[in-house]
Every structure is written in structure tokens, then in C-alpha cells.
């Protein structure tokens, strides 16, 4: 006989009556979700306003100056040059803002998290005593951490660590961002200027953003100097008089010369990282320039991996419905397992004839060839 709802325990009734929510509404990270979870920003997304202002303000000044020179110019050649400069700067600025938005408003590669730790096994923990045993012995309980996993990536040994916040083993090249409170796949860094983590799914747009910003700074810098030089010819070669009459150009020269050191240097640095298939995090932590890099390929292949490969879909469907019962069961996402093995990057467990639970589940169809699964 099926029990009536009122005969159920209070806890079960509460779960039955709980209204399902979308994943982004139950997400424990520090992200800001807009448009029903379609847009994903970091917790410091307000910095986008400052970044946008720093791009648009000098562009408006430059366009005003070019328009004035276009009307004041008597030469057809100079009019064409000023018109071309105006069009190039407007198009470049629009592209820059689009790349900024694509970097900041999309999932950078957030790794799904668990709400409960996977089943504990003594062989996976550092420290075999339980807290109750420690208290009974008159000792302070010790923290028990899961051991890192040793996996093989392209013939190199790589350690896969357990994240105590997300309660799962991180995929290779992943790290936990303390600002966003998420594990991010192929984590590069957290950029305060875009208010978002830079990872696998938005690194391409981040690089295009800083490269476009560098081109914009150099272009404005060159044309501002051309305006000053033109005024010098009209004022007998006096630099002081030219700068007084070209106050806007002088301001643009100072501004662009300062900004280009930051975005230009960042662009050159990331060109080096792309050519060697590193992330900023890996470069500072693992120093792959001094030892073997398991992910490095030929330079052309490294660039093709960033710019010409399909961006993988989000690992977490933030618009999916997640009931309270599923949350209490210990999982945020409907995924049972996520195989990180790719045709280019073969990853095998470095344990022979042993099935290892990672993230709480193992592949039910696994045979002698064990694969590493992440939940």
C-alpha cells in the first residue's frame, strides 16, 4: 500500500514540496548570472564599466578630432586619410568591446562541483585516524586530505589534485579560483579588468581583446603624433606651439603611451605562452620553460589549438532544472561522469588492475583499460 503524502516524514514532505530551481540559482560560486543564466560574470563584473570607459573615452576624443580636421582640411588626400582613420578606429573599438563582452559574459570553463564528498576510502586519504579516535586518544583531530592522483598525459606524469571546496578531483590543467570560488578548466588567471576568470572557453576572446586594444593604442598614438607634426609645420617648427594647439592630441599621446605598455606587454607575453602551450598559472607555478611541458606541440599546432579549434561546450548546464532532492543527494549537475580523455590527449590512471573512485563515481563499463572520470 502506497503511503499518503501526510504520512511521509517531515523531511521527505519538504523535499516533495520544494520547487525545482535552475542550476545557476543553486550555484555556490561567486558568479553573477543574468538573462536566466545565459550570461555568466565574475563577482567583480562592475570593473567592466571602468574598462569600457577607458576604451570609449579616448575613442570619442579621437573621433571628434578627426572629424574637425576633416572639415578644416583643404587637401582631398588629407580628407581621405582622416576619414579612413575615423572608420578604422570606430570598427576597431567596436571589435574591442565585443571581445571584452565575449570574454567577460561567458562560462570560462567552470568545472561542475559536488555538494558532498565522494565515498571515503582509507587508501585515498592522508591520515588513517578518524576525528573520534583522535579525541579518544586525547589528541587534536587531524585534517584528512585526499591524495593527488598520478595520471599520464602524453607520456608525462601529471598530478591531479582533489579540490576540498568543489569536492571533486580537478581535470588536468584546472585550478580553483579563490575570487570566483570555482574550479576552472585550463585556468590561466583571474583578470580584474574583465571581471572574469580566463580559462579554456574564453581565452581566445581574451587574447583578441588585448591584441585589439594594443593595435588601437598604437594607431591612436601614431595619428596623434601626425597631428602634432602637422601643426609644427604650420607654426615654424615650434613643438610648444604645436602642443598648445593640439591639446587633444597631446592628451591622447600621453594616454596611449601609458596604456600600450600594459596591454602591449600582456599581448607579447601571451604570444609567448600560446607558442609554448602554457597558461599564466602554469608558467609561474611549474616553470615549463625550465622543464618538459607535457602539453607542448609544434608552434603552429599550439596556435591552431587556441584559434582554430572548436570551443568545447560548457561542462555545466546552468539553465538545467535541479530539484532540491538532487541537491540533497549530493550533485549539482545531471552528469553521471565526464570523460576527459581526448583523441589528442590520452589520459590513463597510473594504477594497475585497480578501479579508483574519482568524484564519487566510476565508469560502470570500465574494463582493464581504466579511465579517469570526473564528476
Q: Give the distance, in angstroms, between the CA of residue 366 and the centroid of all CA atoms in the same chain.
A: 32
**Structural domain contains residue 24:** no
pLDDT value for 241: 79
Note whether 23 and 314 are within 8 A (CB).
no
* Set 163, 180, 191, 197: catalytic member: 191
Could you give the CA distance from residue 332 to residue 113 in angstroms, rounded to a whole number?
A: 7
Does some domain include residue 16? no
CA atoms of 99 and 190, how far apart (whole Å): 16
Residue 123 DSSP code: G
On whether residue 134 sits in a domain, the answer given is no
Q: What is the pLDDT of residue 139?
A: 52
d(CA 186, CA 175): 8
CA distance 159 to 152: 9
Give 94's DSSP letter: H
Rounded-to-integer distance, Cα 200 and Cα 279, Å: 10
- Is 80 contained in some domain? yes
- 14 falls within a domain: no
**Residue 186 falls inside a structural domain:** yes
Name the stretches of the chain with pLDDT < 50: 2, 16, 120-123, 128-136, 140-141, 325-375
Q: Classify residue 213: in a domain, yes or no.
A: yes
Which domain does 109 fall in, by range? 32-126+144-374
Dihedral sign, Cα of residue 67, residue 69, residue 74, residue 76: negative
CA distances from 182 to 43, 46, 165, 311 (A): 11, 19, 8, 19
13 part of a folded domain: no
Q: Is 191 a catalytic residue?
A: yes
| pLDDT tens digit sequence for 219-229 | 999 999 988 88
Check if the beta carbon of residue 199 is closer than 8 Å to that of residue 111: no
Residue 64 is placed in which grid cell? 571628434
pTM value is 0.78
pLDDT tens figures, 55-72 = 999 999 999 988 888 777
Q: What is the pLDDT of residue 356?
A: 34
How far is Cα 58 from Cα 219, in angstroms, rounded to an integer?
A: 12
Overall domain count for the chain: 1
Amino acid at each position: 500500500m502506497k503511503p499518503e503524502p501526510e504520512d511521509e516524514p517531515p523531511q521527505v514532505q519538504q523535499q516533495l514540496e520544494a520547487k525545482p530551481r535552475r542550476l545557476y540559482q543553486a550555484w555556490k560560486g561567486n558568479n553573477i548570472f543574468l538573462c536566466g543564466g545565459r550570461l555568466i560574470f565574475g563577482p567583480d563584473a562592475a570593473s567592466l564599466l571602468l574598462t569600457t570607459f577607458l576604451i570609449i573615452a579616448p575613442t570619442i576624443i579621437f573621433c571628434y578630432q578627426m572629424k574637425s580636421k576633416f572639415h578644416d582640411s583643404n587637401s582631398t588626400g588629407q580628407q581621405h586619410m582622416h576619414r579612413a582613420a575615423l572608420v578604422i578606429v570606430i570598427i576597431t573599438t567596436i571589435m574591442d568591446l565585443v571581445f571584452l563582452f565575449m570574454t567577460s559574459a561567458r562560462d570560462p570553463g567552470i568545472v561542475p562541483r559536488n555538494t558532498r564528498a565522494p565515498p571515503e576510502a582509507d587508501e585515498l586519504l592522508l591520515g588513517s585516524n578518524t576525528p573520534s579516535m583522535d579525541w579518544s586518544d586525547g589528541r587534536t583531530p587531524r585534517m584528512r586530505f585526499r591524495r593527488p592522483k598520478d595520471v599520464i598525459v602524453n607520456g608525462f606524469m601529471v598530478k591531479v589534485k582533489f579540490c576540498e571546496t568543489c569536492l571533486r578531483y580537478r581535470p588536468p590543467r584546472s585550478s580553483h579560483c579563490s575570487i570566483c570560488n570555482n574550479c576552472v578548466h585550463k585556468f590561466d588567471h583571474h583578470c580584474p579588468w574583465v571581471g572574469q576568470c580566463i580559462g579554456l572557453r574564453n581565452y581566445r576572446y581574451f587574447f583578441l581583446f588585448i591584441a585589439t586594444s594594443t593595435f588601437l593604442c598604437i594607431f591612436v598614438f601614431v595619428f596623434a603624433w601626425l597631428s602634432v607634426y602637422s601643426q609644427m609645420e604650420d607654426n615654424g617648427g615650434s613643438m610648444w606651439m604645436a602642443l598648445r594647439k593640439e591639446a587633444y592630441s597631446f592628451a591622447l599621446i600621453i594616454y596611449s603611451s601609458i596604456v600600450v605598455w600594459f596591454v602591449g606587454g600582456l599581448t607579447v607575453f601571451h604570444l609567448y605562452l600560446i607558442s609554448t602551450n602554457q597558461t599564466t598559472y602554469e608558467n609561474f607555478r611549474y616553470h615549463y620553460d625550465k622543464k618538459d611541458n607535457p602539453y607542448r606541440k609544434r608552434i603552429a599546432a599550439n596556435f591552431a589549438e587556441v584559434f582554430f579549434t572548436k570551443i568545447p561546450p560548457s561542462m555545466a548546464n546552468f539553465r538545467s532544472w535541479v530539484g532540491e532532492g538532487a541537491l540533497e543527494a549530493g550533485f549539482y549537475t545531471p552528469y553521471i561522469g565526464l570523460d576527459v580523455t581526448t583523441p589528442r590527449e590520452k589520459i590513463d590512471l597510473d594504477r594497475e588492475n585497480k578501479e579508483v573512485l574519482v568524484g564519487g563515481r566510476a565508469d560502470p563499463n570500465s574494463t582493464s583499460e581504466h579511465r579517469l572520470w570526473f564528476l
